[in-house]
Structure 1
Amino acid sequence: MAEFVTRAENTRRLIVIVVCVILDTLFIAGGILWFKNASDIENGEKNSKSIVRLQAKVKELEDANRASEQNVIEFAQPIGWRTHASWTTDRLVTGALNPEELKSFLNEWAAELNARAPKEGERESMKYAFLKRVKFLLDGPERPGVGFPGLEKLKTGARDKETAAATEADKKFWQNEVAGLTACIDAVKAASQGLDQTPEMPLWTDRTDGMVLRKLFEELEKLEAAYLALSKALQDRLDAVAKAEKTLGADGQAAVEDARKKLLKTITDLVGGNRDAKSGDAVPKEPGGLLSDLRKSEEDGPKSVAEKEIELKKELAEQREQSKRLQQFKTENDLRVRDLESRINWFRHRREEARERREPDGEIVGVENGRQIAYIDLLHKDRLFRGTKFRVYSPQRGGIKVDKAEIEVVEVRESGTSVCAVTRIIDASDPLRVGDRIYNEVFERGRPRYIAIAGRLTGRLSNDEAATLIRKFGDHYQDRVDQRTDFLVVGEGYDGPDGRAGTGDADTSGEDDDPNFRLARDWGVKIILERTLYEYLGVK
């Protein structure tokens, strides 16, 4: 049965609804006004200890402390603490020197400098080779007087010749030389900026193990840009030298021609002026006029012209030699640029392939955290090498690869599991667990490897026998290293006394003799010892 409602009841209900809406609106407006007033009070000028202001002040102090800490860490000249720390007095109040603290600081910095120096047997990286070439270009060889003297010495010599210039033209020429050499030096220095050593790409190749392909590609791009900038600086200098040589030759020829014409004109005027003179006329002992000019020209002219010609030839020879050396340096630099472009294209291809497949290569099936040992499901049949590095991540993080550790294979087994050593913990709060995934951007499970040999093997197998076993195992043997090569096996002359490749005394000459070793170093190919190859091939 439907409810019967009178008109008066409807009116009453409508009034109640309207009153409730009005009250709700008033309460909401009051709440907004109260919140705004509270916020204004919190941020007001009179409330200097509000949470917002205190948070901002704490952040400023934290930033200042971090900046001070970074300045202390990056302190790079161990020649005393007080002088170089005086500029931090606005943030760090310095007092009397503490001998123990100073000794500790200098010892730590000495250890840091020693860590940056090359260890015995380490090989220079492409970055270090570039910086060494820049230093040679600027300062010349370590032994003076041998080869190219260096741009700095050329600039100093040009400035000295500018000071000793006898004529305004010579002074202007050497001023232009100084300006040109200064511009070239600045361009060469600018080319090497941004190539300081980094943890990912140090100056020594033995310290780049485990470097991800993305970081290597970024470093190669920086190196390519540096080589291109250096090539442009050398080309500009060559153009300036060619222009100066052309100008110098033209000016010298013009000066010689002017001197010759002046001498001929003087002789012609003198002969024409005395043609009608009688034989008995007295000739003054001290001739004047054109005769005096002629005698002076006879005495000084040829000597001056000869000196000018000698000086001109000397300057032209110096300019040609400088141009020749710079051209040779530029040719070598262009070859390195083309080589770098080839490497970058190859690494770009490798990176794109790795990016496309970014799937785990295996997983951790056992962990001994106390011994920093992990066991993985990759075996000898998966073409796993001892020394291969992997990154570890947990699959529980929403499918996103967040690296937590790095491991290195120390024992490759035929069945069960292979053994890895934990070489780096990225996230200490997230230890390694069974089921964690491992990956390597350039490792592909079961993919045939490209293997080459440098030198002569001295163990159980000869080079030909090793090549036969490599092919029998399903891998590719290469006579010559190229961009596809995965491993270079080193034999006699490369295995040093400490068991690492390329650390022996015979290695220096061996490197010059075997092109595969140089190519492997330039292409960043992994170098393994002969016994590692035997383990991989299963040779007992």
Structure 2
Amino acid sequence: MKKRSRRGAARISAIWLIVFLVVALVGAAFGWIAQQDAAQARSSHQTAVSALNVSEARFEGERQISRDISQIFGYFNPSEAGSRTVVDAAENGLESLKVAFVDMNSTTATFEDAVPVVIAQYAARGKAISDLTSQVTDLRSQITAARDNLTSVSGDKDDKIRELQQQLSDAENQARDTEADLQGRLAAAQADRNDKDSQLRSARGDIDDLERQSERDKTAATTRMAHMADSLKFTKEPEAADGEILAISKALGIGWINVGARNRVNRGMIFHVISGKPGSDFLKGWCRVISVEETRSEVTFFSIVDQFRPIVPGDIIYNPVFDPTGVRNAVLVGRFSGVYSERELKLLLESIGITVQKRLDQETDYLIVGAEMYVDIHNDPVEEPIQPSELPVYKEAQAQGTQILSIRDVRQYFKK
């Protein structure tokens, strides 16, 4: 039994020895392979480093060339190290050069093409400057000659002054003689004055007659003013409303009023809305006509005064320049432009029953004044704008009491 145990132990030791030798051989093999790979990697690294150094040297050379070109060509930021020419800026510079030098055309694509043209035009301009310098020299010579001539003329002027002073002395002597003669005539004139006094007394009688006539004319003018006051009631707040609110859509902010095309209502006309409660004159807001039918109009509301007192059906509307029945005449003076050109203003006035006249007369109710004018009555340009208030028709309207309205008064209640 003991011998068997020794042989088994010997077998196990031999096996482990074999295993150890195999492992050692495998490790040695792997070590040799790893050493070969490391050597090859070091060789590849050295080759890559050498190639990198060559590329960096070539890149630095190209970069230095780019810097040198940028230093000469420009269009770069000098505050940044290594800054190079901005291509877009250089192209813009070339286009500006083409604009400045008219001889360049679309075939001039580079600065190399542009430089000969610039040099040629610069030389031409230098020659032109030289010619102008010669002309300036000639003109200076002419000025010197003119100054010499002026000195000569000044001497002649002094001689002339002395001659005139002598003539003045002679004239004074003659004036004294004339004075004596005039005194004699004055005595005769005093006698004639007495005759004129009697004529004056007669003229005063005529003046009294004229004053009486003036009083009669004044009475007639007062009557006309009263008539005009009646025809101009539209410029004041009417005693009765122009209409009332029929219905309202709170969601859309619109409503309907009970006046329409039959009442000369136009799209864009503006009314202010007053509370419909008896005895109340509270201004609730404004409404603008956006659609017109025969007997009613659609409006939109704006500038609501108090959100807690909204516009409701039954509230009343006013427009001081709205008159659904009256017949009136107007004359336009000044310049009308923008939204209300003269043609548009005439159409608006005709739509509300106002006839536009060509000339002011006794039947004219309004003079509507526009902006200053830059041409005269013959359509010739003027140096200073002409104010409508400086025109004769304006002063005539004032003299006969015609109502004068500014275009702003019309715009306030009529929007487009």
TM-score of the superposition, structure 2-length normalised?
0.31
TM-score of the superposition, structure 1-length normalised?
0.26
> Over alpha carbons, which structure has the higher Rg?
2
Q: If each structure's strand is expressed as a fraction of its own residues, which one has the higher value? A: 2
